[in-house]
Amino acid sequence: MSTAEERAAFAERLRLQLQARYREQTVTVDAPRFALRLTGGGVDATLPLAALENAVVREPQRTSSLIADFVRAVEGRMQPPPGAGFSPARVLWCVRSRSYLDELSRSAELLRRDVGGDLVAFVAEALPGAIMRGVPRGEWEQRGFDGAAVAAAADANTAARFASVAERVRSAERVPGDGWQYAGDPLFASSLLLVPDVLRAFADRAGGDVLIGVPDRALVLAIPASSPGADRFARRVQQAYRDAMTPVSRDVLVTDGSNLRTLPRADRKRRGPTLMAWLQD
């Protein structure tokens, strides 16, 4: 039988691995129960460690693989059943193309917001393990929420998720010559289009209009419309769209810091190197 110190070290090792994998949750050690507890974002899960420790004691040569399997298996236990665990703390806007939504069997049940061009936002749940799913209207209505409340929660959560992007744009020493590029969120990068503070930061630093493209769900490109490289921006977006693993849109949008509109194709030809500030997490 392991000592209390050994059990504590074992639990801490697991805590660190789970915290690294599920960064949106808080992972703590429940020493009396010899378990871990994961909380946050509508999730509250207790994970007993005794069975895992016993398996490691029996097969010490498989310690790494047993722990890896345990960490991966946690994901399923953290996902609430659809509708049963709806929480406004988990919802945010997800931006995809209209064709993407057309392929979803229950897309008509989603709360939507037009973005610009062929882009549309819908309310989705951010679940542990880099998982996203659209939330049908019936799920939040049966929990007593209306559309205005859900949209407000999505606005607030999306703004909080991308607050650091606006801060980095404003605090950078200069506007890089080849454009801003954000790729710090594999599922929701394109959602920053729904954050007014990010759009204002772009426009303030550019001193005017900014061109924006979302060629991939994990990639946002932006450049001041007055930049010498702006005339090549549409081609960059097109190329990134062709190379994308999860393509979203070929369209180029324009923002003045307050609104988004589609850049007419004639303007793309007239506009005339560009901002590439790496805003990775």
Going by C-alpha positions, the residue among 215, 201, 220, 268 that lies closest to residue 243 is 215
The pLDDT value recorded for residue 271 is 46
Q: How many CA atoms lie less than 13 Å away from 198 in the CB half-sphere?
A: 25
Are residues 108 and 147 located together in one domain of the fold? Answer: yes
Last residue of a domain, one of 19, 47, 78: 78
- Considering the domain boundaries, does residue 266 fall inside one? yes
Are residues 155 and 171 located together in one domain of the fold? Answer: no
The pLDDT value recorded for residue 167 is 94
- Considering the domain boundaries, does residue 281 fall inside one? no
Average pLDDT over residues 203-210: 95
Are residues 113 and 57 located together in one domain of the fold? Answer: no
The pLDDT value recorded for residue 248 is 93
The pLDDT value recorded for residue 128 is 63
- Considering the domain boundaries, does residue 232 fall inside one? yes
Are residues 49 and 116 located together in one domain of the fold? Answer: no
The pLDDT value recorded for residue 177 is 77
The pLDDT value recorded for residue 78 is 61
Cβ within 8 Å of residue 238, ≥6 positions away: 215, 250
Cite the beta strand spans of 118-251 per DSSP E: 119-127, 131-134, 180-182, 210-216, 219-224
Mean pLDDT score across all residues of the chain: 84
Is the pLDDT score of 231 beyond 70?
yes
Interval 28-71: pLDDT, tens: 898 888 888 877 655 657 788 999 999 999 999 998 888 888 88
Last residue of a domain, one of 37, 52, 78: 78
Last residue of a domain, one of 109, 128, 161: 161
DSSP 6-59: HHHHHHHHHHHHHHHH-TTSEEEEEGGGTEEEEEETTEEEEEE-HHHHHHHHH-
Average pLDDT over residues 226-247: 91
- Considering the domain boundaries, does residue 278 fall inside one? no
Is the pLDDT score of 275 beyond 80?
no
Are residues 50 and 124 located together in one domain of the fold? Answer: no
Are residues 97 and 154 located together in one domain of the fold? Answer: yes
The pLDDT value recorded for residue 44 is 59
- Considering the domain boundaries, does residue 187 fall inside one? yes
- Considering the domain boundaries, does residue 260 fall inside one? yes
Helix (H) or strand (E) holding 94: strand 91-97
The pLDDT value recorded for residue 58 is 92
Are residues 96 and 131 located together in one domain of the fold? Answer: yes
Are residues 265 and 203 located together in one domain of the fold? Answer: yes
Domain that holds residue 97: 88-161
Among 7-21, 34-48, 89-103, 117-131, where is mean pLDDT lowest?
Answer: 34-48
Are residues 50 and 137 located together in one domain of the fold? Answer: no
- Considering the domain boundaries, does residue 277 fall inside one? no
Are residues 100 and 71 located together in one domain of the fold? Answer: no
Are residues 130 and 222 located together in one domain of the fold? Answer: no
Domain tally, the chain: 3
- Which CA distances in Å does 277 have to 174, 183, 257? 9, 11, 18
The pLDDT value recorded for residue 42 is 53
Angstrom distance (rounded) from CA 30 to CA 53: 15
Cite the beta strand spans of 165-277 per DSSP E: 180-182, 210-216, 219-224, 252-255, 260-262
- Considering the domain boundaries, does residue 279 fall inside one? no
Are residues 143 and 187 located together in one domain of the fold? Answer: no
